[in-house]
Every structure is written in structure tokens, then in C-alpha cells.
């Protein structure tokens, strides 16, 4: 526990990122509970629509930290990755949760299932990998902005020497285990599996 306190004291941005992730899910669950359990549709919509504000808060905190002279480190890279992946995958996560809440609490239709095999699954894997590429591109853009804002190469080494290559690695691994694997795997029988 003391190690965690020391880490957060040395990296207050890590606490902001953790609070952002918690806030993201609090807004989603709060919005869905308000919408489907409490039947407060407008309140639920406002809470769900507020989820991008969490991303803005993390971005602003990161820029302030770097702008105030903090040496860029892995936590700043994590903040950029959080932003990129949250922006791209956040809406589909909200739709996923919304479909399940609607089915459970509002007699909505069963949630859609993702394809298990065949051309539908291949299209699904390509679409998800495309979202990964977009998320990595947003992350790289934020990292480049941070590098530009800092303006001193020795203060930004972890961002361009570690994080940018890692984004390429993530994209490559996702490609191999996603669309490439699906294309090279025999189609077999068609089916669906819950997403």
C-alpha cells in the first residue's frame, strides 16, 4: 500500500487517469441505471453524453502537467493511450452496455451477437482492427502534441522512444490475432457467439 502511495505522490497524473477510468464507468452505469431502472431517460442521456468530458479532463490534466515542466514519462504516454482508445472504443462500449441494460431492465430485444465464423466474422475483425489503428493514430497524435509542447527532446524521450514503437507493436499484434488469423483460419460452420 505504501508503494502505491509513493507512486501516486511521484506521479499524480496516474491518479487522474485512474479517476478518469472510474468516472467513465460511473457515468455509463449511472446513465444506464437512470435510463432503464429509474426511468429518467433525459438524465440518463445527459450522463451518457457526458462521458467524453472525462477524456477532456485527462487530456487537460496531462497538458497542464507537461506544461508546468514535468518530465514526460510512461504515465504521460498512458494518458495519451487512454484518450485514444477511449475516444474510439468508448461509443461501442456504451452501445454494448446499453443493449444489455435495455434487454434486462426494459424488455428490449436480446443483445446482438458477434459473428463466430465466416465472412461476417472476418468483416467484424477488420472493423475492430481498423478501430485499433484509429485509436493508435489518435494516441500518436496526442504524443506528438505533448512532444511539441515540451519542446525539449531530453524531456520527451520516453514518449518518442518507447510509446510510439509500442503503438506499432499493438497494431501489429492486433492485426495478426484478429483479421489475419480469421482470414487464414478455415471458415468451418457458420455461427454466432455472444460479444
What percentage of the chain carries pLDDT values higher than 70? 94
- Classify residue 155 by its DSSP letter: G
Q: What is the pLDDT of residue 8?
A: 67
Is it the case that residue 74 has pLDDT exceeding 80?
A: yes
Cross-strand partners of 113:
194
Collapsing DSSP to helix, strand or coil, 114 comes out as: strand
Return the half-sphere exposure (C-beta side, CA atoms, 13 A cut-off) of residue 87. 19
Q: What rounded mean pLDDT belongs to the chain?
A: 87
Collapsing DSSP to helix, strand or coil, 195 comes out as: coil
Angle of helix 51-67 versus helix 12-32 axis, rounded to 10:
170
Range 56-63 average pLDDT: 87
Range 122-145 average pLDDT: 95
Q: How many Å apart are CA 120 and CA 14, to the nearest integer?
A: 39
Range 154-161 average pLDDT: 82
Backbone angles phi, psi at 115, to 5 degrees: -65, 145
Amino acid at each position: 500500500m505504501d508503494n502505491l502511495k509513493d507512486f501516486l505522490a511521484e506521479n499524480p497524473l496516474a491518479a487522474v487517469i485512474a479517476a478518469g477510468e472510474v468516472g467513465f464507468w460511473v457515468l455509463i452505469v449511472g446513465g444506464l441505471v437512470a435510463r432503464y431502472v429509474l426511468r429518467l431517460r433525459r438524465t440518463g442521456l445527459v450522463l451518457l453524453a457526458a462521458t467524453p468530458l472525462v477524456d477532456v479532463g485527462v487530456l487537460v490534466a496531462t497538458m497542464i502537467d507537461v506544461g508546468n515542466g514535468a518530465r514526460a514519462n510512461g504515465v504521460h504516454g498512458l494518458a495519451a493511450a487512454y484518450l485514444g482508445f477511449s475516444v474510439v472504443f468508448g461509443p461501442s462500449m456504451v452501445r454494448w452496455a446499453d443493449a444489455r441494460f435495455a434487454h434486462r431492465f426494459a424488455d428490449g430485444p436480446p443483445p446482438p451477437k458477434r459473428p463466430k465464423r465466416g465472412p461476417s466474422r472476418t468483416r467484424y475483425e477488420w472493423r475492430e482492427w481498423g478501430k485499433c489503428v484509429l485509436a493508435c493514430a489518435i494516441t500518436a497524435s496526442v504524443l506528438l502534441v505533448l512532444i511539441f509542447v515540451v519542446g525539449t527532446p531530453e524531456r520527451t524521450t520516453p514518449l518518442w522512444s518507447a510509446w510510439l514503437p509500442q503503438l506499432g507493436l499493438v497494431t501489429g499484434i492486433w492485426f495478426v490475432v484478429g483479421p489475419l488469423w480469421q482470414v487464414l483460419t478455415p471458415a468451418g460452420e457458420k455461427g454466432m457467439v455472444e460479444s
